[in-house]
Amino acid sequence: MAMNTSSGTDGVFSFDHRDMMVFILVMSLHGLQSMITELLPEFSIGGLGVSIGPFWFVAMAVVLLFRSFWACLAIPVGGIVFGEILIGDFSALGAIEGLVVITASWFFVMALVTDPSDPKQIAALGFLAKAMEEFAAWLIDVGKFYVGVEELEAIQWLPETVWATEGMGALVQIIVAGIVFGAVPAYFLYPRLRGKIEPLLGMEPLSGRDGPMFDRTAMKRLVAWVLLLPVAFVFETLSETSGGLITFQPQFVETYGQSFLFVPIVIAALLAFGLVFYRQQKTEV
C-alpha cells in the first residue's frame, strides 16, 4: 500500500511526521516565493494597483501534490511567518482572515481532485482556489465599509459603487495571480514535480478516485467555507477596531531598508531545501 499523508486513512485532521514534513515544505516554499515577489515593483491597470506576487503556481503545484489539510493550512502560515513576523509587521487578529479564508478555499478545492495525473484539472482547481479566496476577500472588504470600519472608496453620492471598486480589484488579482502567475505556470510545473517530490518525503504519489468531482465530501467542505466567511469577517473587523490584540511591529524593513527582505528569503530557502536535502540523504542510506 502506498505511503501517503495521514489524510487518507487516519482522518483528515490527523497529524504525523509526514504531515509535519509537508507542512514545513509548503510553508517555507510559499514564504520564499512570497518574499521574492515583495522585491518586485507594483504596477497599475486602469488606476488599480496590482502586485505581481505571490507566485501562486508554487502553492497550486505543491499543495495539490499532497492534498492534506495541513498542506492547505501551511499556505497562510507561510505568509504570516515569513511575510509578517520575520519582517516585524504582525497583527494576530489581522492574520486570521487569511488563515481562515485561504485554508478553507484550498481544503474545499482539493476534495474536487479526481485525476491527479491530469495537469489541466490541477491548474483549473488551483485557479478556483485563488478565485474563491479573492471573492471572499471582496465580500469582506465591502462588508467592512457597510459596518463603518473602512473608508469609502466609491462615488460619495452612490455608495453602492464600492461593490464595483472592490470587485475590479479582486478581478484583476484573480486574472494576474490566478491565471498569469498561477494556473498557467502550474500546468507545466505540476507534472514535473509529481512522482519526484513525494518520494523525497518518504511517500508515494496520491491516487485519484472514481465518481463525480463534486461529491458529498466536497459539498460539506463548501458549506464549511460559506459558514467560515462570517467568522473571517468578524475577526477582520475586530482587527480594524481593536489594534490587533497581539501585535509584533518593530518594522524591520522601515528601519533597515528593503535589503532586510533577504532575511526571510534566506531562512525560507534554508528551511525548504534543507528539508529536501535531509530527506534525500535519508532515502539514500
Higher model confidence: residue 203 or residue 156?
Answer: 203
Which pLDDT score, from 0 to 100, does residue 162 have?
78
Identity (one letter) of the amino acid at 262? F
pLDDT the model gives residue 240:
83
Provide the pLDDT for residue 7: 41
Place of cell 511517500: 203
Give CA 145 to chain center in angstroms: 25
pTM, two decimal places: 0.89
**pLDDT one-digit tens code per residue, 144-184:** 888 877 665 554 555 667 788 888 888 988 998 899 999 99
CA atoms within 13 A on the CB side of 117: 5
Reported as type and span, the H/E element at residue 238 is: helix 216-242
**3-state SS string for 126-181:** HHHHHHHHHHHHHHHHHHHHHCCCCCCCCCCCCCCHHHHHHHHHHHHHHHHHHHHH
Q: Is the pLDDT of residue 221 over 90?
A: yes
pLDDT at 270: 96
Under 8 Å between Cβ of 65 and 203: no
